[in-house]
Amino acid sequence: MNYRQLGKTGFKVSELSLGTWQLGGVWGTGFNHTSAQQILEAAYEEGVNFFDTADVYENGESEKALGVFLAKKGSSANIKVATKCGKRINPFINKNFNPEILRSHVEDSLKRLKVETIDLIQLHCPPTDVYYRPEIFGLFDRLKEEGKIQHLGVSVEKIEEGVKAIQFDNVTTVQIIYNLFRQRPNDYFFDMTHKKNVGIIVRVPLASGLLSGKMTRKTTFNPNDHRHGNRNGEWFDKGETFAGVPFETGLAAVEKLKEIFNGYDSLAQVALKWILLNQKISVIIPGASKLQHIQNNMRAGNIIKFSDEQLQATQDIYEHSIKPHIHDLW
């Protein structure tokens, strides 16, 4: 495992880490704590030392599972945990965001994680207007002074939200969608964060599994799975589902990618390695609902290189098949 610095947090984190949105089972199927502990342990054994979660993942069960895992490993394991707050606010609108509510959510996360200090707390894709409210960001300075958090980050839907967020000096990381099907952040945003020493956490690196190469037109999903019910943004921002790419369009592009990378073990590894080529990325957080997902994803770092021809062909697919559908939306 290779390790990179997570911006001005100073943390050295595994470049391939673990996102826990689907920890403990496939989306929409309920939480299995035994499975969760097995996956966390498998990731740790692969060298993962950074785990990303949120207070809303399985209604807090993901945080609880990490709390059990952290207690078992002890402080000597030097594990860093990032969680998120804000999504529990309902209705999820700007005027309902206030420091008191967010403070209570952070304190709830501390209890579920069974820690005294959260390594990295992230505002969880708040409404855009929240980024224009200094009192919200000021709260986290106070929480840091109180020893309840070490660092603040943001998780954003739109690049422009990230641009606004990093104007606050206490924002140390930005979590954003970036993958073979979502390339706009590299147009200019990563240059901005690099200059400010703001860490980049890449989520949805496999476009909700599309870039695993295992889906077909016959693939079906649980009714509670966002890949079934959120393709047009019915539940939340549609960019979180298949990175916003229409399913059929994505499948066609994946078939072309399979031809380009025919000799590789898995398309998922190729997709992750492509992201790692960008040195302005701090860490990728692919999810895993099965042990084999961990084992497969962590092998991405072993890919030595791609040819110039492969990289150009990949870019051509994006330019012609994907970009017209989504490039300017996020």
Which among 201, 164, 239 has a CA at the least distance from the CA of 81?
201
Tokens coding 158: 């739109």
Catalytic residue, candidates 3, 44, 57, 188: 57
Cis ω before 246 (30° cut-off from 0): no
C-alpha to C-alpha distance for 105 and 189, rounded to whole angstroms = 29
C-alpha to C-alpha distance for 283 and 203, rounded to whole angstroms = 9
Tokens coding 80: 């860093």
Q: Are 17 and 48 in contact (CB under 8 A)?
A: yes
- Whether residue 132 lies in the annotated active site: no
Q: Are 79 and 49 in contact (CB under 8 A)?
A: yes
C-alpha to C-alpha distance for 241 and 280, rounded to whole angstroms = 24
Q: Are 109 and 87 in contact (CB under 8 A)?
A: no
Q: How many CA atoms lie within 13 A of 165 on its CB side?
A: 30
Tokens coding 121: 């707390």
Residues with catalytic function = 57
